[in-house]
Every structure is written in C-alpha cells, then in structure tokens.
Amino acid sequence: MTDVTEQSLMSDQAGGSSVAQKPIAIWLFCICALVMLMVVVGGATRLTDSGLSITEWKPVTGALPPLSDAAWQEELAKYQQTPEYERVNHGMSLSEFKAIYWWEWGHRLLGRLIGIAFFVPFMWFWLRGKIARPLMPHLLGLFVLGGLQGFMGWYMVMSGLVDRVDVSQYRLTAHLGLAIAIFSYSFWLALGLVFPHEGKTGRSGVGFKLAALVAGLSFFQILLGGFVAGLHAGRIYTTWPLMDGAFIPDSLFFMEPWWLNLFESRLTVQFNHRMGAYLLLIAALVQVGWVLRSHRNIKALRITSLHVAGFVVLQAGLGIWTLLMAVPIGLGLMHQCGALLVLSAAIVHLHQCYKRGL
C-alpha cells in the first residue's frame, strides 16, 4: 500500500495548482460505502439464487428493466433455456421470476451507478486541477479495477448458463475478492488523505507487520466465505463448536486429489472458514496485547486495536448464530456487513501503525 498524503497535501509544483484533499477523501469514502452496499446486494442475490435470472450482458441497454408484459415474457423465455430453470425452477411463474430478476437487475444497476459515481467526480476533479500527480496513478488503477470487476461479474454469470445450476464458486470468489480489493484500495487512499503521517513512515516494525497480518487474515477470511457461499456450505453442518460430531471431522480430505477438498468439498470449505475465524480472533487479541504492552500511551493505537478485536468478536458471534440458523437471508447479509467492518477497522489500525513507523 502507498501513502500519498505528504505529496498530495502539497501544491502540484509542476502544475501550479492547489490540491483540495477533503473533497477527494469524501468522494473515495462514498465509493467505499457504495462498494459495501454492492457486496451486500450481491450477497442477497446469491442467497435468493437470483444471479442467473438475467442471461445477457448489456452494459448500456441493460440498465432498463422490462417495460411491458411482452418484454417480461421474453426475459422469462431466455431464463427457461438455462440449466437452473430446467433442473431447479421448472414451472416457475412470471411473478416468481420477477422476484429473482429484480435482485439481479438491482445488483447490476448498482454496479453501473458505482461506475458513474467514480468517473464523473474523477473527471471534475481532474479538469479543475484538484488531483495531485502522485495520486493520479492510484485513481487510474481504481478505474481499471472497476472495469475489470464488471467483466468478472459477467464471466461469473456465464459459468452458470451452460452446464451448471449455479455459478462457479471459483469465479464467485474471484468476483467477491476483486470487490474487496477495490474497497480496501479506496479506503486506504482516503485514509492517507485525511490522516497525514507523522514523520517517518515504516513497514518494517512489529506493529505494522502484526497489523498487516490481521488485515490480510480479514481479507482471506472473506475469500473463504466466498467459497462457503459458492457451495451453499453454510446450510449444512449447522452445529457449533463440533462439526459432523467432531471438532476436526474425519472426512476433510475424501476427494482425490486432496487439494480439491479445499475448494469443492462443502465440509472442508466450511471447516476452513471456521478455522480462519479462530485464527483471526487469536491474531486480533495478540495485536491488542502488543499495543497495550508496547504503546499503551498512544491513544489512537489503543482505540483502533480494541476496535479491531471488538469487531472480530462480534463477527465471530454473528457467524455462529448465522450457522446455527442455517443462513437465513437477514443474518447472512449482516454477517457480510460484519466482515467488511472487521476489514475496515483492520485497515484503519494498519494505517495508524504505518504513519507512525511502528
């Protein structure tokens, strides 16, 4: 990650224009909020099995939903050609089809709105000379990632239109992971504009390495959750702390070759997600202990480390509740929100360590 604060708070010497940072930071935080909403709506689309209801990718004309009975019938006819309809939803009525169609349409519409919310302010800031030169490559990188995310979304949907009744868990997790990467990148840049570093920054200190580990585990845990969602693995083995009658089930690696279990066995995928949660909780508590022992006098570090640990504890409890209830939609979406709150808190603490060179 790159801190752009020092350069961007200065005037762009070559361009001779003053750089206003607060509006850019607010804009980036708004993008983060929209991406978080996008992830939640995407989760609802998955939990309601709505993702394959729109069988074509029309980036421009697809912004409009069907506006007549004939148009609705045409969309339903396209959906009736998919394996999901034939094997899962055969005989679905038009009203039932509309219920899943609106979730997927809303998810795609929100993606378009995020693109506009990024591109229009970006052009306004750029044309008015408000973007510092060191920041420009990062914003262009975000723009490229956003375009790639749109393609990845359609690439994911394609996997469920031919031979499968669901999208590929690999592509779903890649789609989710790219969204989280965009969120994290935007959030880090915004923090760099709001909170300038104090003296020498650093990535070699114990504090930064520990904070990077917690943030990395938070990100990795979300990816593990993507595989759980992709395989509907949260709706089986709905007991805790035991799983299939044991803390470590016997059948974790029954597939051959063994590594397939990590991605295609619902038992192993859910087990990995559980173990990831335990590991993240331990790392967050160790981080709090290190801060209280080594830098107790720095109030900001105390607060941010405690926030991380608190959110992890709450998220773990919410995850257990969600599992025991076999992932109802409301709890499932709350669990997704919780994951992003944990990651956000971890990034804030990471930035605090970085800007202090700890």
Number of structural domains (the chain) is 2
d(CA 313, CA 332): 17
Q: Are 305 and 214 found together in one domain?
A: yes
Same domain, 127 and 25: yes
- On whether both 135 and 36 belong to a single domain, the answer is yes
Write phi, then psi, for 166 (nearest 5 degrees). -145, 160
Burial 320-338 (b: 16+ CB within 10 A, else e): eebbeeebeeebbbbbbbb
Q: In this structure, which amino acid lies at residue 312?
A: V
Average pLDDT, the chain: 91
For residues 247 and 347, membership in a common domain is answered with yes
Question: What is the rounded distance in angstroms from the CA atom of residue 29 to the CA atom of residue 33?
Answer: 6
217 and 87, same structural domain? no
Write out the residue range of the structural domain in which residue 222 sits: 201-358
Same domain, 14 and 93: yes
Considering the domain architecture, whether residues 37 and 53 belong to the same structural domain is answered as yes
Digit-coded pLDDT (tens) for 180-210: 999 999 999 999 999 876 666 667 789 999 9
User: What pLDDT, in 10s, does the model give residues 126-138?
Assistant: 999 899 889 999 9
Out of 196, 218, 247, a domain closes at: 196
Closest by CA position to 122, among listed 51, 253, 28, 211 = 28
Give pLDDT, residue 259: 95
> Same domain for 134 and 229?
no
Residue 91 half-sphere exposure, CB side, CA atoms within 13 Å?
0
Residues 6+ apart with CB under 8 A from 316: 277, 281
Domain boundary among 196, 218, 248: 196
- Claim to verify: residue 36 and residue 174 sit in the same structural domain: yes
- For the chain, what is the largest distance between any 2 Cα atoms, rounded to a whole number of angstroms? 68
**Nearest CA to 212 among 279, 273, 262, 287?**
287
250 by Cβ neighbours in 10 Å (0-12 / 13-18 / 19+) ranks as exposed
358 residues of the chain, pLDDT tens digit each: 544 444 433 333 333 333 458 899 999 999 999 999 999 999 999 999 999 999 998 888 889 999 999 999 999 999 999 999 999 999 999 999 999 999 999 999 999 999 999 999 999 999 998 998 899 999 999 999 999 999 999 999 999 998 888 999 999 999 999 999 999 999 999 999 998 766 666 677 899 999 999 999 999 999 999 999 999 999 999 999 999 999 999 999 999 999 999 999 999 999 999 999 999 999 999 999 999 998 888 899 999 999 999 999 999 999 999 999 999 999 999 999 999 999 999 999 999 999 888 8
Q: What is the 3-class SS of the chain, one letter each residue? A: CCCCHHHHHCCECCCCECCCHHHHHHHHHHHHHHHHHHHHHHHHHHHCCCCCCCCCCCCCHHHCCCCCHHHHHHHHHHHCCCHHHHHCCCCCCHHHHHHHHHHHHHHHHHHHHHHHHHHHHHHHHHHCCCCCCCCHHHHHHHHHHHHHHHHHHHHHHHCCCCCCCCCCHHHHHHHHHHHHHHHHHHHHHHHHHHCCCCCCCCCCCHHHHHHHHHHHHHHHHHHHHHHHHHCCHHHCCCCCCCECCECCCCCCCCCCCHHHHHHHCHHHHHHHHHHHHHHHHHHHHHHHHHHHHHCCCCHHHHHHHHHHHHHHHHHHHHHHHHHHCCCCHHHHHHHHHHHHHHHHHHHHHHHHHHHHCC
Q: Same domain, yes or no, for 226 and 304? A: yes
The domain boundary residue, chosen from 175, 196, 217: 196
Residues 268 and 141 in one domain: no
Q: How far is CA 138 from CA 27, 185, 238, in A?
A: 14, 9, 43
Q: Are 218 and 265 in a shared domain?
A: yes
